[in-house]
Amino acid sequence: METIIELWAFLRQRKKIWLAPLVFIMLLLGGVLIIAQGSVVAPFIYTLF
Amino acid sequence: MNIIGISAYYHDSAAALISDGDIIAAVQEERFTRKKHDASFPAQSCQWLLTHSGLKPQDIDYVVFYDKPFLKFERLLETYLAFAPRGFSSFRRALPLWIKDKLFQKQQIIKALQQSLGDQLNWQERLMFSEHHLSHAASAFFPSPFEEAAILTLDGVGEWTTTSMAMGAGSGITPMKSIEFPHSLGLLYSAFTQYTGFKVNSGEYKVMGLAPYGTPRYADLIKQELIDIAADGSFRLNMRYFDYCTGLSMTNKHFHRLFGGPPRAAESKLTQKQMDLAASVQKVCEEVILKLASDLKVKTGAENLCLAGGVALNCVANGLLQAKGIFKEIWVQPAAGDAGGALGAALALYHAHQGTRLKSSHHTKPSTQNTSGAYQPQDKMQGAYLGPNYTSNEIEAALNSSGASYQKYTSEGVVEQTAQALAKGQAIGWMNGAMEFGPRALGARSIIADPRSPNMQRQLNLKVKFRESFRPFAPSVLEEELENWFDLKAKSPYMLMVAQVARQHQIPLSSQQQQLFGIEKLNVPRSQIPAITHVDYSARIQTVSAQTNPRYHALISRFFALTGCPIVVNTSFNVRGEPIVCTPQDAFRCFMGTELDMLVIGDFVLEKKEQNPKLRVSYEAKYELD
C-alpha cells in the first residue's frame, strides 16, 4: 500500500496523473500474467529494466 | 557523516562508503559472489564496508541508492504506450518483473539492509535515492582533482537520460543539457556489440579492441541511416532499425538488411566484416563525443572535463579527446560504469547536505607536478585501491589451508624475485594491497608479464586468460618514463587513455606486411614492446605512480633496471568470464587453474613447479563466457 501511495505522489509531482489509469490496468494485467506464468524470469535486455 | 552508496538490481552492483566526504572504501559485489556483473543487492559489500571501517550499522547516517525506480518505471510505461500495440512480447516479459519486484524496490532495499546490516534500525528513515546521471556526474566531479570542471556523462540509459552535460563548481553540480531515451550512444554501441556476436553490456570493450583491425567503411552508412548528429553533438537515433524499445533484441530485420545479413553467432569465427563494423561504430562514437565536448567547452568555458558513465570506459575515445586538446585536463572516473554510481550517489548526497567540497582524503598525497609540467593536484580516488586488503597472517593462513608451497620474502625480496622472473619471460599473478574499484586491474590484482616478448600476447590470451586471440593487452609504465615510450602528455593512472607507442619504439611494417588483413596483422611485431602494441600502434596505458602503488612502482623500476624497459604487461587477474580475483584463495585457485608460472601475494611468492600437481584444477569451464 505504501508503494501505491508513493507512486501516486510521484505521478502528481511529475504532473503525470494521466498515467494513473494505465498504471492501474498494468498492475491488474501484470498480476494476471504473474499468476499465468508463475515465474518472473525475464531475458537481459537492459532497457526493460 | 557516514554515507553508504549502493548500486544494484541492474548490473555491476556495488557499495561505497564515504565519511565526512572522504572516500573510505568501495567494492563490487561480483568480487565476493564470484558472479561476473552480479546484479544482486550488495549485501557482502555492505558488510565488508562496516568490517573494514570499524563502523557499526547505527553509525551509518544514510544509505543512498544510485537511481530512481519510479522514474524508470515511468519511462518503461511511456515507451510501451508510444509504441503500442507493438512490443507486447517484451511487455509481457518485463511487466511481471516490475509488478512483482522492481516497483517495490524501496521495500526490497530496506529488507536487504535489515538482513545484511541488522533489523534494529529504521532503514526507511535513512534511505535516499539519487538520479542515475547525477550519480555518474557526482562520481566524475567530486573525486576529481578540479575545483571547477565541465562534466559529461554517457551511458546506455538510466531513468530517462542517456547523455548529460553539467558544470561542476565547488560543492555544486549544475545540469545544462541532456539527451533522453531512446536516443543513446551507449545503446547504439551495444546494438553493434550484439550484431557482431558479443554480449550486450559486457562485450562493448571487445568491439573497441576489434576496431583497429578494421576500416570504418560503414561509418557513412551509420550516419546516413542510424544516427543524425547535430553540430553541437546532440543526436537522434532512427528507431526504425532498433528493437530495444519493443523487442527482446537490440537490432531488427531492417538493421540486419542494412548491414547485409544476420548477426554473427556468438563464438563463431570473426571476419573482416565484424572488424569493419567495429571500426565504423567506434569512429561515429568518437565524432559524437568530440562534438559534445567541443560544445561543452564553448558553453562552459571550463578548462577541465570530467567523464563518467559506461561510454567513458571507451579509452580510445578518451585518448582522442585528450589528444585534441579541447580541454586542458581530462579526468575519468575509474569505475565509470554503474558500480561507480554507488560512490557518486553517496557523494551527491553529501555535497547536497553539506554544501561543501569533498575534503582531501588522508590517504592522498599533496599536490604534485604532472608530466606535462602543468599543475595537477592528486585526485581523491587513492589510485582506485579502495577494496579488500589482507594481512600477512591472513594470506599465510589461506595459503596453508589451500596446501600451497610458498616462500616468504621482505618487500625488497618480493620485488627482486618477481622482476627476475618477469625478465625470464614468466607470466605472474600479482596480488598486492587493496583491491581495485572498477573494471580495470591496476597492479593490485593483475597478471603481469614481459611486454618485449613477441609471443606473450598469444600465450597469455590462449593459455592463461582462455580468451579470444585478437584481444590486446595493456601496459603499466612508470609515470616518469611515459613520454619516452608513448605519445601521451597527461597521466593515465586508471588505464582509461589510449595513445600511440612513441615512434622511436615502433617497427615499420614492410610493404608485404601492410597487405595483411585483420587478425593476420597481429602476428607481425609492430614495436619493441609487441605484447602491448595494438595493430594500429596504439596502447591502453596505465601510468604507475610511486605515491599510489609504491610496490608496483618498485617492481617495474627493478624490471627497468634489469632490462631497460620501464613497462610490464598488465591484464586483470582472472580468466575469461570470471570476476577479478579478490581473496588469496581466489588468487591461488586461478594460479592452479591456468598456465601462470608464478604467484605473488603480498610478501609470499609461489612457483608453479613447486606446487603439488594434485592441486591443479580444471578451471576455465567454471565460468560462463562473457
Q: Where are the domains of chain B?
A: 1-143+333-367, 145-330, 392-614
Residues of chain A contacting residue B99, judged by C-beta atoms under 8 Å apart: 26-27, 30-31, 33-34
The C-alpha of B252 sits at a distance from chain A's nearest C-alpha, in angstroms, of 14
Give the residue, B521 or B367, on which the prediction is more confident.
B521
pLDDT value of residue B361: 42
Closest CA–CA distance from residue A4 to any residue of chain B (Å): 9
pLDDT of residue B527: 95
Once rounded to an integer, what is the mean pLDDT over residues B213-218? 95
- Tell me whether A8 touches chain B (CB under 8 Å): no
Average pLDDT of chain B is 92
Predicted local confidence at residue B354, as pLDDT: 75
Closest residue by Cα to residue B532 from B493, B562, B499: B499
* Residue burial B169-196, b: 16+ Cβ < 10 Å; e: rest: eebebeeeebbebbbbbbbbbbbbbbbb
Domain boundaries B1-143+333-367, corresponding CATH code: 3.30.420.40
pLDDT in tens, B431-462: 999 999 999 999 999 999 999 998 898 889 88
Q: Model confidence over B416-427: pLDDT tens digits?
A: 999 999 999 999
ipTM: 0.81
**Nearest-CA distance from A31 to chain B in Å?**
7
Q: Lowest mean pLDDT: which of B96-100, B253-257, B418-422, B531-535?
A: B96-100
Asked if A34 lies within 8 A of B99 by C-beta distance, the reply is yes
- Domain count for chain A, please give it: 1
CA dist B19 to B139, B144, B342, B346, B434, Å? 15, 17, 14, 10, 18
B106·A3 Cβ contact <8 A: yes
User: Which cell numbers in the block locate residue B99?
Assistant: 509488478
Q: With an 8 Å Cβ cutoff, are A45 and B90 in contact?
A: yes
Q: Which amino acid is at B603?
A: D
* Higher per-residue pLDDT: A4 or B140: B140
Asked if A22 has any chain B CB less than 8 Å from its own CB, the reply is yes
- Confidence (pLDDT) at A23: 84
State whether A37 and B96 contact (CB < 8 Å). Answer: yes
Per the structure, the complete domain to which residue A33 belongs is given by 2-48
Q: Which of B474, B498, B152, B171 is nearest to B319 (CA)?
A: B498
- Compare CB distances from A30 to B11, B99, B244 and report the shortest one's residue: B99
Q: CA nearest A37 in B: which residue?
A: B96
Does residue B414 contact residue B493 with C-beta atoms inside 8 Å?
Answer: no
| Pick from B204-208, B350-354, B398-402: least confident | B350-354
Is the CB of residue A42 less than 8 Å away from at least one CB of chain B? yes
Average the pLDDT over each of B76-85, B88-97, B238-247, B560-569 and give the range with the smallest value.
B88-97
Comparing B145-330 with B392-614, is the CATH topology the same? Answer: no
Query: How many Å lie between the alpha carbon of B181 and the closest alpha carbon of chain A?
Result: 9
Which residues of chain A have a CB within 8 Å of the CB of B96?
30, 33-34, 37, 40, 42
Q: What is the mean pLDDT of residues B131-145?
A: 98
**What is the predicted pLDDT for the residue at A35?**
75
Cis peptide before B42 (omega within 30 of 0): no
B contacts of A34 (beta carbons < 8 Å): 96, 99-100
Could you tell me if B102 lies within 8 Å of chain A, comparing CB atoms?
yes
Q: Which residues share a beta bridge with B78?
A: none
Q: What's the rounded mean pLDDT across residues B178-206?
A: 95
Whether B598 contacts B429, CB under 8 Å: yes
Specify the amino acid at residue B55.
L
Q: Cα(B265)–Cα(B270) distance, rounded to whole angstroms? A: 10
Q: Is the pTM of this model over 0.90?
A: yes
Compare CB distances from A40 to B77, B96, B106 and report the shortest one's residue.
B96
For the domain made up of B392-614, the CATH class stated in words is alpha beta
- With beta carbons less than 8 A apart as the criterion, state whether B228 and B159 touch: no
User: Does A48 contact B250 at a Cβ distance shorter than 8 Å?
Assistant: no
Cβ proximity of B547 and B405 under 8 Å: no
For B145-330, CATH gives 3.30.420.40
pLDDT at B412: 97
Q: Which chain A residue lies closest to B96 (C-alpha atoms)? A: A30
